[in-house]
Amino acid sequence: MLNPEGVIHGNQRCGLTDEDLNRRWRAPDPTLHPTIYHAKSLLEYLTTVVKLKVRVFCDFHGHSRQKNVFMYGCSRLQSWWPGDRDLPDSPDFMLLPQLAQNCMGTFSLRDCHFLIERAREATARVAVWRQFDIPMSYTMEASTCGCDQGPYKNNHLSTKQLLESGEGFCLALSYLVSAPEAVNSQLKLNSDRIDCRFRVVSERNLGDFSHEVVFWSGDLDDDLDSDDDLDLDLYGPM
């Protein structure tokens, strides 16, 4: 929980400075945004002092409009900045969502997307992906409504389902340190379970350029993950 002071006063996204803390990860102020500053400092300590390679970063949010549990990730080929597209994507950038699809009954790979928008540069997943070169950097969104697929289709998500989702996510994480054969087996189950076809949306304006963008989603709209959405995240109560 990165916003205890804001939550005490009934806020959903903002701290006591009336700022969305998930828009302060690029340059957090130690006085105004202390939890973000020190969380990021921990990552910097691990990568620069201890010299550890951090493979996964994931923060947890609640989403007020989308259904299911899903992830936002980072793809160079789907970035607003042309310089990102000069380098290939990490081969692992979709690995954890693919594993989560098979380990979590609430998870929907179809609802995941990996777009990097200019307005998202100060969010946690993009800021730490850039600064610390973390190949698997995500925001996991859990619907405040329910599911429209899987074993909980047409049901609200209760504490029971959220706890099950947490257990499934830990199982998905465990495969990242498993033998390649175990990982490949899980990914094979995913390919048998769903049809993972790309959806291409043409001429979507991403700030400085317009071009074809590939999404992993069956029903995206222009406001998805937008500045004015009402998702309730780990900076406020779910």
Active site residues: 141
Report the C-alpha dihedral over residues 204, 207, 211, 214, rounded to 10 degrees: -60
- Give all strands (DSSP E) within the chain, no chain letters: 56-63, 69-72, 136-143, 199-205, 210-215, 232-233
- Per DSSP, 47 falls in state I
Structure-block tokens of residue 165: 């989702």
Contact 110, 218 (CB under 8 A): yes
> Residue 203 region, left (φ>0) first, then alpha (ψ -120 to 50), else beta?
left
- Radius of gyration of the chain, Cα coordinates, nearest whole angstrom: 18
- Please tell me the distance from the alpha carbon of residue 33 to that of residue 15, in angstroms, as a whole number: 8
